[in-house]
Amino acid sequence: MSRDAIHDPKLHRARRTRLLEALGDGLLLLPTAPETRAVLFVRPRDPAREVWDGKRYGPALAQRLFGVDAAHPIADLWRVLAEVLPTQPRLFHRLGADPAWDQRLLQFFAAQAKKHRRREPPAHPVIQDPLPVLAAQRLQKDQGEIDALRVAAAITASGHEVAMRAARPGRHEYEVQAALEAEFRRLGSPRNGYASIVASGANACILHYHENDRRLRDGELLLIDAGAEFAGHTGDVTRTFPVGRAFTEAQAAVYRVVLRAQLAGIRACRLGARSDAPHRACVRVLTQGLVELGVLRGTVAKLVAKERHKPWYMHGTSHWLGRDVHDVGAYRDADDRPEPLPRHAVLTVEPGLYFAPDDRKVPRELRGIGIRIEDDVLVTARGPEVLTAAAPKSIAAIERICAGRTGID
């Protein structure tokens, strides 16, 4: 496994075979990786261009690395398609994903029809979306994917711990970000899976905060949502911890609620459970917590039914994780029923509570506190496995790190 991609021709071949068997007869067209049995069209080697844009595989190397039957220069794509398409009952292609490809295909079919003006033109193949089948297969990780995610998770966890050690009053969010991402690089991650969120104080209440330019202040919390990529797979972790040495009483009270919710959400990631089971578990505990914190009043069951948590917990709890941070895969079936969690799916569990500084509906001491805790969970027959467990999470473990910071200025 290289840090940039998994290059195992046997694995690539096995995945393609599985997909083609599931799709049935036809021609699969995936922009950037089209196949007949397994033919790849890639940009040819071009030393002059590579000086500017970086290395290309070229057909010969691509054929070897990806285990395909043949590889051609991308310029030959439409000529080869013209030969192969008339013999195919179906073309698997996702319409709408890339309008330029759709346009080119329509032109291609029109040109084919024109060629046959004087006799019956061949019907163009039925076009069918391959994504539902492809996404369902990507949802259940194979060994190579699990290995890549384990490395990405371990690097991500280490980066978060380094960030906890690096944070202190007077530093800027971007300085902590630099320490975290330096650790990602040091451990072999070539890039981040997504843009890091490093949000101190009330910035944590802005879910997609990216400025990362505020100075950290004693007595506040720092929320970091960041993930390292490895071999084309990404981690996705959030930790929230004190800028100073310890949580305040109010911060600790909110943290305990979010942590309790997160642990309940993780426990709910059981093979065959509804895909929304982690969310339901988290919402129940968060709602109970909002009552304990004096934010909501009433019976928990009724408050849950009325979704009264929403002003302070406005996002979902989980998403599939893999090549993409929000990876492909359905959450609900065609009748809008939650899909069961399949074996070797990887999903996040990321509850939070966000009390805006000007929120007059919550006790004063809670205002400006934003806390999210996020881990990556592998669904197995033996129960949920937290891939990112190495990132410190309990109040005791976090405060040990905060109190042990050296060289505080």
Q: What part of residues 172-201 is at the interface with ligand GLY (CB under 6 A)?
A: 194
Return the residue of 36, 128, 192, 348 that touches Mn ion, per CB under 5 A: 348
- If the CB atoms of residues 35 and 374 are measured against ligand GLY, the closer one turns out to be 374
Tell me the two tokens of residue 207. 């879910």
Q: Which does 285 bind (CB under 5 to 8 A by kind): Mn ion, ligand GLY, none?
A: none
- If the CB atoms of residues 262 and 348 are measured against Mn ion, the closer one turns out to be 348
* Beta-strand pair 383-386/375-380: antiparallel
- Are 155 and 188 in contact, with CB atoms under 8 Å apart? yes
- If the CB atoms of residues 229 and 236 are measured against Mn ion, the closer one turns out to be 236
Q: Which does 261 bind (CB under 5 to 8 A by kind): ligand GLY, Mn ion, none?
A: none
225 binds ligand GLY (CB under 6 A): yes
Q: Which does 194 bind (CB under 5 to 8 A by kind): Mn ion, ligand GLY, none?
A: ligand GLY
CB atoms near residue 39 (< 10 Å): 19
229 binds ligand GLY (CB under 6 A): no
**Angstrom distance (rounded) from CA 226 to CA 231:** 17
212 binds Mn ion (CB under 5 A): no
- The owner of tokens 């709890």 is 317
- If the CB atoms of residues 192 and 251 are measured against ligand GLY, the closer one turns out to be 192
Q: Which does 220 bind (CB under 5 to 8 A by kind): Mn ion, ligand GLY, none?
A: none
Q: Give least dist CB 268 to ligand GLY, A.
A: 18
Return the residue of 145, 175, 220, 225 that touches Mn ion, per CB under 5 A: 225
Please spell the DSSP secondary structure of 241-279, one letter per residue: EESSSS--HHHHHHHHHHHHHHHHHHHT--TTSBTTHHH
327 binds Mn ion (CB under 5 A): no
Q: Residues 46-72, buried b or exposed e (16+ Cβ, 10 A)?
A: eeeeeeeeeebbbbeebbebbbbeebb
Q: Give the residue closest to ligand GLY by C-beta.
A: 225
Return the residue of 236, 276, 327, 376 that touches Mn ion, per CB under 5 A: 236
The stretch among 52-60, 117-125, 171-179, 233-241 that binds Mn ion (CB under 5 A) is 233-241
CB atoms near residue 286 (< 10 Å): 27
- If the CB atoms of residues 175 and 374 are measured against Mn ion, the closer one turns out to be 374
- Are 347 and 269 in contact, with CB atoms under 8 Å apart? yes
236 binds ligand GLY (CB under 6 A): yes
The torsion angles phi and psi of 383, rounded to 5 degrees, stand at 115, 180
331 binds ligand GLY (CB under 6 A): no
* Beta-strand pair 126-128/191-192: unpaired
Q: Give least dist CB 324 to ligand GLY, A.
A: 10
Please spell the DSSP secondary structure of 61-104, one letter per residue: HHHHHHT-SEEEEGGGHHHHHHHHGGG-SEEE--TTS-HHHHHH
375 binds ligand GLY (CB under 6 A): no
In 3-state terms, what secondary structure has residue 177? helix
Give the ranges where 268-363 is alpha helix by DSSP (H): 277-292, 300-305
325 binds ligand GLY (CB under 6 A): yes
- If the CB atoms of residues 197 and 296 are measured against ligand GLY, the closer one turns out to be 197
Number of residues that bind ligand GLY (CB under 6 A): 7
Enumerate binding residues for ligand GLY (CB under 6 A).
194, 225, 236, 319, 325, 350, 374
* Site residues for Mn ion per CB under 5 A: 225, 236, 348, 374
